[in-house]
Amino acid sequence: MAKFLFLTDTHIGASPIGFHQQPAYPEHMEQLIQEIKKLAEQGEIDFVLHGGDMVDKCTEETLKEAARLFDLPVPVYLSLGNHDLDCEDALDKWLRITPQFFIGNKPQYTIDGGDCFIHVVPNQWEPGYSYYWKSAQDVFFEEDQLLQLDSALEKYRHQPQLLSIHNPIYGVPMEQSGKDQIIHGVSDEFSKLVLGRLSRFPSIKGVLSGHNHINTLKQTEQGVFVTGSAFSETPFEYKIVELTQHSLSVETRALSIPVSFEPVYNEEKSYVQGQEKHRACTWRF
């Protein structure tokens, strides 16, 4: 069994604030992270999985600050997002400055939960560029990534597995947002690439993502597909995920520890937090 905390899109060092759904306060991360530390100290979680965009820009300063902030009593793992990779030597910086966020000093790796496994597979953003986000969001995986993933999936095919990919597999549905179109739509090619793996390996029980800064949860016969709102945005939410031999549960929590500042909330975008069905589920298989 693995019980871990999933958060995403902290955007450490963002100034000015770029893309956001709710008002963002990355400058207060020191305070926001205290609840995570407390859960780790109390033994409530085995590890923390960050879904990507840990920093807003990849510099030595922001990576060192991320390492300081996420110095927790439990392991912290990172599934690299586009903002984490906004310079050509980004991957070298991460592996040199913050090797503790990766297993085997590689950006793609598998977390061993004992009798379950979580595969961290950072998607690429622009054809012709490896682990570098220039500007486009033409998401894909490199061939060697897929070969490595398939090998790991085959190795653990008889155990429950999850995938962690920064870009979601599905867009935000209109019934959640109230908009007249899907928010953050995903290409059919990318979705089919991932869903094809779920068809071939039924032991994959779900996919965890970030990027859209919105809580979504879609459950199908194939699995549970989850995205998280940005931890740096009001009301500072994270998820507790528990994967066992026979079940997967997801719970979304808002920060409960008081903060010294007065965060603003945009009621017109309450769909970001979602209804309960977009925030939690328990699936027994």
Per run of 10 residues, the mean pLDDT along the chain (length 285 residues) is: 98 97 98 98 98 98 98 98 98 98 98 96 96 95 98 98 98 95 94 97 98 98 97 98 97 97 97 98 97
For 2-284, CATH number?
3.60.21.10
Q: Extract the tokens encoding 248.
A: 């997967």
Return the pLDDT at 142.
Answer: 97
Return the pLDDT at 208.
Answer: 98
Q: What one-letter code names the amino acid at 74? A: V
Return the pLDDT at 32.
Answer: 98
Return the pLDDT at 103.
Answer: 98
CB-based contact 196:205 (threshold 8 Å): no
For the chain, what is the radius of gyration of the CA atoms? 17
Q: Extract the tokens encoding 101.
A: 């966020």
Burial of 92 (C-beta count, 10 Å sphere; 0-12/13-18/19+): exposed
Residues 6+ positions from 128 with CB-CB distance below 8 Å: none
For the range 219-228, what are the long-range contacts, defined as Cβ-Cβ under 8 Å and sequence gap of 24 or more?
A: 219/281, 219/283, 222/195, 222/198, 223/198, 224/248, 224/250, 224/281, 224/283, 225/168, 225/169, 225/170, 226/6, 226/250, 227/8, 227/168, 227/172, 228/6, 228/7, 228/8, 228/9, 228/51, 228/252
Domain ranges of the chain: 2-284
CB-based contact 56:62 (threshold 8 Å): yes
Q: Extract the tokens encoding 155.
A: 């190795």
> Could you give the 3-state DSSP secondary structure of residue 17?
coil
